Amino acid sequence: MSTVSPKVTREVAAALQERGVAMLDAPVSGGDVGAINGTLSIMVGGDEAVFNQCLPVFEAMGTNINLIGSNGAGQTTKLCNQIAVSVNNMAMAEALMLAATSDLDVQKVIDAISGGAAGSWQLSNLGPRIAAGDFDPGFMVYLQQKDLRLVLQAANDVKLALPAVSIAHQFFNIVERAGCAEEGTQALIKAYEAQADRQARAE
């Protein structure tokens, strides 16, 4: 259920199958809140009969449970999830930095735009934490970086360019270099604050 390489997942599943062992890959999304509340999204790859047998276990942990395809499909779907998460995080950071450097109240800007087309989970959940100067982790920067490396490896395997993910990964490098690897992923804003010499958050 961890996020790992789709390629390695398929190799492990094949090795287990040779020994008569069935495997599902079932990474999750929803953060610590989803885990605590049992409302995780679970992305599953593997045999449908095995999935149906294990469904009660998944239902104890999550509410959005999807069998995507064969082994590795769950992991690839999770990497797609991490693309959307990280790029939305970057978009949010850029929006909040423009607000801050334009001398606007960052929380008021979040309130104004989060209900429209600009709305996202990141803006509604991480935006207010940035405005309050709260960088406690739901999902840590170094774990996001691990996932983005997996995204870039998977993209390389199929010769796909993902420039936005590459940029997000580089900005998270700045955050890690600043000693914030174990902070929440909202700490991405710190990379923007460093280059703007301006904070988007409470002191």
8 Å CB contact between 193 and 200: yes
Q: What residues contact residue 155 under an 8 Å CB cut-off, 6+ apart?
A: 161, 162, 165
What is the phi-psi region of residue 31: left when phi exceeds 0, alpha when psi lies from -120 to 50, beta otherwise? left
Q: What residues contact residue 12 under an 8 Å CB cut-off, 6+ apart?
A: 23
Amino acid at 73: A
Query: Which positions are catalytic?
Result: 78
Residue 189 burial by CB count (10 A; 0-12/13-18/19+): exposed, middle or buried? buried
Instruction: Report the candidate in 76, 77, 83, 78 with the shortest Cα–Cα distance to residue 165.
Output: 83
8 Å CB contact between 120 and 128: no
CA gap 126, 135 in Å, rounded? 9
